Structures are given as structure tokens and as C-alpha cells.
Amino acid sequence: MRHARWLAPWKDSLDKRAIYHCVSRIVDRRFVLGDEEREHFRTFMRMQEKFSGCRVLSYCVMSNHFHILLEVPPRETLSFDDEGLLKRLGTVYSEAFVASVAKELAEARAEQNEEHVAEIYARFTYRMHNLSEFMKTLLQRFTCWFNRTHERTGTLWEQRYKSVIVESGDAARTIAAYIDLNPVRARMVSDPADYRWSSYGEAIGGGTKGNGNKARMGLISACRTQNSKHETLNSNEEDYSAEKWKETSRIYRRVMGLALGRKKGNAKLGEVIAGANMNDEEMIASKDNGTVLPDLGIAKMLHARVRYFTDGAVIGSKSFVNEAFDAARERFSEKRKDGARRLRGNGEAAAGKLWSARDLRVGV
């Protein structure tokens, strides 16, 4: 019997963020996502992000699969007026459809029929601030476009998407970097900044219809401290200053184990440039010359496949994993006494820092 999707027990909390690492693969793992397909997938993803109010923290679209690190806001923060609703609808629906909803709303308001107004809102808002609806709509829209474009029918995705509950802070930052390093692990590029269809590549180079601000905002949010409260997608963009991105970018490249000083086409995996982008005070304070994390093992770990990050169910500190386990005790046998499991295999470098809810034994 298939379990209902495991959602963060605190998904409705205003103080604790609900973050998920989502992964899905093409049926038979075929390599069918070329440049055009990946560009369209990103477009649909950004459209769904604007409509749903969820925030994409990190992502990467490969030739036969994708990763998305997604923050889902609590339902309680979902609030806007008629104009705001219509604006949301305009991100995914045609002008004619939005106009028809606007007319229906105006008539209901004129009649002071609040029950009808509430029904109109409910018709769309149930799909907002919702992990399952975000992913279902994204995958369905892309499948329809792909099948129509390639004159095919049937399912495109191998199985229902996987999702892992991720703790904010170290865990989110680590998995975001793991996602952006996908094309490096596949040896498609030596520096993730050179891969267009990823959060870091978009943040550095900008997209075809933007300047990379959306991707930079996501990565800044992914790198926020563990105790940071939820922040809505429509938060003041002035908070995401160029200076904040500069600092985040430095931290992020350290997490990925890459040189801080980067020249396009010249960065290589593991390349070290001592003191790049650091002042004298930082150089003195840094035992590793500011090139990578003090624990080089974690940076190296991210350049290998870590199955826990896609199949671990919950990833974070020991207390975080145990909290999720206690709230979903019915998912496990009575013999299971606690939730947190130590990372092994390729994840060994993070053992004791990050924990998993699943004790994986094969392909770790």
C-alpha cells in the first residue's frame, strides 16, 4: 500500500520553514531533455512559482531528470485582494480566462454575494502554498507541452516524484549545492556557473528573460541561517542587495568546494586560489585560506552521488529528524525506537552533522 506523501509536521508553522528536495526522472531514464526542453521546463517552473507562492531555492534540469529545492509557505500567510488573485492567475492562464474570472468577481462583488466570492477564491487558492499541487501542475503542464511538441502520448515521468524534508540552515545549503553540482558530477562542465539550467548558472549568467535575480533570491534564501523564520515569495526584493548576494556567492562556492575567484571558462573542480575575494582580516582568520569549507570532506562529498539526499525521507540535524519521526510514528514499525540514522557510504563526511530518517543499505 502506498503511503501518503510525508509532509513536514510544521508545514503550517509561521516560525519554522517547510523545505523539500524534489526529484523526478524521465520514463526509462531516457536522455530526452535537450536545450529547448530544459528551457521550457524552467519557464513552466517559474510560472508555477509565481502562481503558487512557493519559492524555488535551488534547481537543476538535466537530460533525463531534475532536482528542485522548494520552500512551501504556510497556508496562513496566503493573503491578497481581487487584484492580487487576478495577477496570480495571469502567470499561468490566458488573458481571456483571467478576464472571465475578473468579470465573475466583479458581478459577485456588485451583488454583495460574499459566498460566491469565497467560492471563486477557493477554486484557485487550494493549489497555492501546496507542495503536491506545485509538483503535479508543473509535471502535467510540461508533459502536455512535451507530448504535443514531440507528437507522442502517455506518461513522461518514471514514477511519482520523490520528496525529502530538509532542515533550513546547514542541510538546505548543503543540498542546494549538491543540486547545483549535478552537471559537474556528470562531467558536463567543470564549474556549475557554466551550466545554464541550474540555479547557480542562472544566478551568475541570468536567464533568457531575466537577469538572474530570481535565482539569486532563491540561493540567498537557501543559505539563510537555521533559525530564520519563513519569508514569503513576495518579500521586499530590496532585502536581496548586491552585497548580500556577493557574500552568499562566496559562502556557496566554499560549500561546493570550488575556487572563490572565478574567470569564465577557467574554473576547475577543486582548483584553489588562496585568498581570492578576501581581505587581510579574513585571510588571517581562515585556516583554509578561504578556498573551501574547513572540512574539505563535505565539499568532496558533494561531488559524489549521495543517495540519502534523494531517498533519505528527512535530512537535517539529529533533533530535526527525530522530531519529524515522532510526528509520523505510524510510518514505521513498533521495533523502530528513534528516527535519526547516521549517514554512511558517500555521505560519511557529513555523518554526525546531517542525519537521515532512512537507514539506506544499498547504493549509498
Count CB neighbours of 62 within 10 A: 20
In the predicted model, what is the mean pLDDT of residues 343-352? 93
Q: What is the pLDDT of residue 282?
A: 41
Instruction: Give the three-class secondary structure for 68.
Output: strand
Q: How distant, in Å, are the alpha carbons of 132, 311, 332, 342 from that of 321?
A: 21, 14, 14, 11
Mean pLDDT lowest among 63-77, 137-151, 180-194, 209-223: 209-223
Q: Which residue has the higher pLDDT, 263 or 336?
A: 336
Numbered ranges of CATH 3.30.70.1290 in the chain: 19-75+131-301
Residues 174-181: what's their mean pLDDT? 97
3-state secondary structure of 113: coil
Pairs from 180-185 (Cβ < 8 Å, separation ≥ 24): 180/58, 180/60, 180/256, 181/256, 181/302, 181/303, 182/60, 182/62, 182/67, 183/60, 183/62, 184/269, 184/303, 185/303, 185/304, 185/305
Read off the pLDDT band of 361 (50, 70, 90). Answer: confident
Any idea which of 148-152, 162-166, 238-242 has the lowest mean pLDDT? 238-242
Tell me yes or no: is domain 19-75+131-301 CATH 3.30.70.1290.
Answer: yes
Binning pLDDT at 50, 70 and 90, where does residue 74 land?
Answer: very high
pLDDT number for residue 275: 36
Q: How confident is the model at residue 241 (pLDDT cuts 50, 70, 90)?
A: low
In tens, the pLDDT along 17-70 reads 999 999 999 999 999 999 999 999 999 999 999 999 999 999 999 999 999 999
**Whether pLDDT at 235 is above 90:** no
d(CA 353, CA 91): 40
Beta bridge partners of 356: 315, 341
Closest CA to 160 of 3, 355, 333: 3
